[in-house]
Structure 1
Amino acid sequence: MKASHRKKARELALQALYSYLMSGNDMKQVELHIATTNDMAKVDVAYFQDILQGIAKDPDAIDKAYKAYLGRLPEELDPIEKSIMRLATFELVHRIDTPFKVVINEAIELAKTFGAEESHKFINGALDKAVKTLRKDERA
C-alpha cells in the first residue's frame, strides 16, 4: 500500500474521530458515513478501519496514554486536537509497523491542515514527550 494511501486513511480517520466526538453517534455509523461519502479508491481502508475500531474500543485508555504529556487535561483539548492526539497515540501504541517519526510528522501535518493556528506546535510538543515512553525501544 502506498504511503499516500495511509495519509488519506489518517485524514479520513481524523474526520471520523471528530464527527464521533461532536455527534456522539456510534463509531460504526460514523465509519460507514465517511466510507460512503468519500472516494476510498486511494485509501488504505484496512488502516482506516483499524484506527477507528481500535480507538472506539477503549477511547479512555488512549486518552490515558497521552494525558501525562499534555500539560492540561484531555477534556480541555478542542475536538480536532483531541482527535489528532487519539489518532497519533493509537498509532504509537498499536501500530508499531509505522515509525514514530512518521506518526509525529503526519499528526503535525493534520494539525496544520485542520487545527487552530498554533495547534501543530502543541501536538508536536506533546507527541515528542509521549514517544519517549510509548516507543522507548524504537528511540534507543
Structure 2
Amino acid sequence: MSDEQSAPASRRPPRQSRTGLTSTGARKAASKSSRSRSREFALQALYQHIVGGNDVEAIDRFTRDLSGFHKADSVHYDALLRGCITAQADLDALITPKLDRALADISPIEHACMWIGVYEFQHCHDVPWRVVLNECIELAKEFGGTDGHKYVNAVLNGLAPMLRPAEVAHDRAAKADTASQPADSRDTTGQAD
C-alpha cells in the first residue's frame, strides 16, 4: 500500500470511547434515558417559544416530527412544554430574584433550562431534586454557552431549598452526618456501618 492510500485513514478523528460521554463531556445519545430525551425536546420547544413566541400547538407538532422523538417520554415532554408555557409568569417570578442581571439578558437556553428545573421541582416529585438539578445542568452544558451551566446550577441550587425544603434538608443532613464520622467507621461506599 502506498503512502497516498494510507493517508486518508491517518486523518480520521480518534475513536470515541464507549463510556457514555462524547469528547466534549456531553452524554452520548445511546446512554440517555427517555426522560432525559424528553427534557431535550422540551428545551428545544421552549426555545422556540421564548425566541419566536410561536404557538404551543405549532411548536408541539414540529417537535414531535423531529428525529428521535419516538425514544422520548412523550408524557413528560408534554407536561414540561405545556406546564412551563402555562406557568411562565410564575416560573419567572421565582427565578428573577436569584438573577444578577435582567431576565431579558439571560440566554434563551439558560432561561428554558431554569424553567424546566423549577417546573420539575414544583410538579415532578417522583424525580429527586438532585436529579432535576443535574439534568438541567447537563442540558445547559450540551445546548448552552460555555459557562451557562454554572449559572443554571447557581439559580436552581438557590431555589431547591425553597421548592423542595424537606428533601434538600434531609440530603444535606445525611451528607453532614457522613462527613462528621471518622473515616475508619465508613464502609467502601462512604456510608456509616
**TM-score class normalised by the smaller sequence:** over 0.9
Task: Determine if contact 2:63/2:69 at 8 Å carries over to the other structure.
Answer: no
Structure 1: gaps spanning 5 or more residues: none
Aligned residue among 135, 142, 156 for 1:127: 156
Give per-residue Cα distances to partners, 1:79-117, cap 9 Å, x unaligned. 111111111111111111111100100111111111110
Is residue 2:21 matched to residue 1:21?
A: no
Q: CA deviation at 1:71?
A: 2.3
Which residue number in structure 2 is paired with residue 84 of structure 1?
Answer: 113
CA RMSD across the alignment: 1.2
Q: CA deviation at 1:138?
A: 1.0
1:1-140 equivalence runs, <5 A: 4-140=33-169
Structure with a larger share of its residues in helix: 1
Aligned residue identity for 1:136: P
Distance in 2 between the 1:87 and 1:98 partners?
12
Aligned residue identity for 1:134: L
Structure 2: gaps spanning 5 or more residues: 1-31, 170-193
Provide TM-score, normalisation by structure 2: 0.68
Give per-residue Cα distances to partners, 1:36-84, cap 9 Å, x unaligned. 1233221100000001111121211111122222222322211111111
> Which is bigger in relative contact order (C-alpha 8 A, separation at least 6)?
1
Q: Which has the larger radius of gyration?
A: 2
The sequence identity of aligned pairs, in percent, is 34
Size of the aligned set, in residue pairs, is 138
Aligned residue identity for 1:30: I
Distance in 1 between the 2:126 and 2:137 partners?
19
Provide TM-score, normalisation by structure 1: 0.93
Distance in 2 between the 1:116 and 1:54 partners?
25
